[in-house]
A and B are shown apart, each in its own frame.
Chain A
Amino acid sequence: MNTPTDHFDEREWRLQERALREERLASADGGDDGIAAYRKVVRALREPLPDALPADFAANVAARAACAPARGDSRVERWLLRALVAAFAASALYVVANDGGDWLRASASLLPAADATALRSWGLALGACIAMTWALGRMREGHGHAAMR
């Protein structure tokens, strides 16, 4: 249960912030009891913590990191992934080289004769799709930057 004095009070907040500024600047005590009390609080809060990380912490962590797999996957995994992609590409090339001619002929026989008007319509539709995708991407990017601010 919150006490009534816990409600945010803008005047009291300004007093706290003034005490922080005065303590940072090491200003002379102005004789205000409220500020003086808050300055004591701020002074205690600005004191370094009683213990710290060991002096060789950074070197030890760096040594451990050097042994650990970087970037979320190991070198072996990356090598295996590349090998898999290469094998897949080689298989695809082999199939296209063998049967590609037949596929092309079959596809060409199914298509109607080229018509300039139809080609222009399809071109416009394709252009509109690209433009809309680009515009949506820009809008999303704009929202992302606004959320960061």
Chain B
Amino acid sequence: MDDGRTPEDRALVTAVLGGEPGAFERLVRDYQGLCWHIVRRMVRDPEDARELCQEAFLRVHQCLHQYRHDAPLKAWIGQVAYSIAKRHLERKRIPVADSADDEGVPLHERVADDFDLEGAVADDDIARRLHAAIERLPPLQRTILTLYHLDELPVAQIARITGLAEGTLKSHLFRSRKRLREWLAPGMGVAA
């Protein structure tokens, strides 16, 4: 199906709701990668992220009867994981997205403490510095970038997961990628 809803997902949901042995474990296995990407990108601490992933799937188990098959199961589970991670950040008073002031601060000024920006031009080093720069992005931007590039989710599904408008998401993607590229420029000799 074009919108990501599949007969396999429908069968899986029916099996879980029917209490079929092993069905829920299969569902967790199918979607734990997505859940981990969302939660791990939102929450920096790996131990917290693991616990939140567990909480997300227990919530999925409790509320699966509310899933109406009107969206892909992947997006529904992603939405549960995202809301749990977001609530965790809010409880800890960690900003989910860029504050207005941070938006104007170039990435190299935020990352400069850890790395020699002018030094290395080797691919490995560039990749290492890029990963450090990605880590320094705010949780929301990191999550959106990962869902779009690593999980290859379309903007519409990311919009469903995060509850943001598609235009806002595209703007986040555009600005984050542009900043990463600008930050890369001094080391590569590329005009920003």
Check if A53 sits within 8 Å of B71, measured CB to CB: no
| CA–CA, A143 and B171, complex, Å | 27
Check if B190 sits within 8 Å of A2, measured CB to CB: no
Does B127 sit at the interface, judged by CB under 8 A?
Answer: yes
Seen from chain B, the residues whose Cβ lies within 8 Å of a Cβ on chain A are: 22, 24-26, 28-29, 32, 36-37, 40-41, 46, 50, 53-54, 57-58, 61-65, 70-71, 100-101, 103-104, 123, 126-127, 130-131, 134, 145-146, 148-150, 152, 170-171, 173-175, 177-178, 180-182, 184-185, 188, 190-191
In the complex, residue of chain B having the shortest beta-carbon distance to the beta carbon of A57: B32
In the complex, residue of chain A having the shortest beta-carbon distance to the beta carbon of B103: A2
Q: Would you call the interface of chain B mostly helix, strand, loop, or mixed?
A: helix
| CA–CA, A36 and B103, complex, Å | 25
Check if B71 sits within 8 Å of A1, measured CB to CB: no
In the complex, residue of chain B having the shortest beta-carbon distance to the beta carbon of A68: B58
Number of interface residues of A (CB under 8 A): 48
Say which residue of A5, A8, A43 sits within 8 Å of B127 (CB atoms): A43
Q: Which B residues are CB-close (under 8 A) to A33? A: 190-191
Minimum Cβ distance to chain A for residue B128 (Å): 9
Q: Which B residues are CB-close (under 8 A) to A37? A: 181, 184-185, 188, 190
Check if B63 sits within 8 Å of A72, measured CB to CB: yes
Report if A41-B46 is in contact (Cβ < 8 Å); known contacts: A34-B190, A49-B36: no
Segment at the interface with B among A12-20, A86-94, A101-109: A12-20
Report if A2-B174 is in contact (Cβ < 8 Å); known contacts: A33-B190, A36-B190: no
Report if A16-B127 is in contact (Cβ < 8 Å); known contacts: A45-B146, A59-B25: no
Does A52 sit at the interface, judged by CB under 8 A?
Answer: yes
Does A76 sit at the interface, judged by CB under 8 A?
Answer: no
| CA–CA, A132 and B97, complex, Å | 46
Task: Mark A44-81 against chain B: 1 for CB-CB distance below 8 A, else 0.
Answer: 11111101111001111110111011111000000000
Q: Which A residues are CB-close (under 8 A) to B26? A: 58
Q: Which B residues are CB-close (under 8 A) to A46? A: 149-150
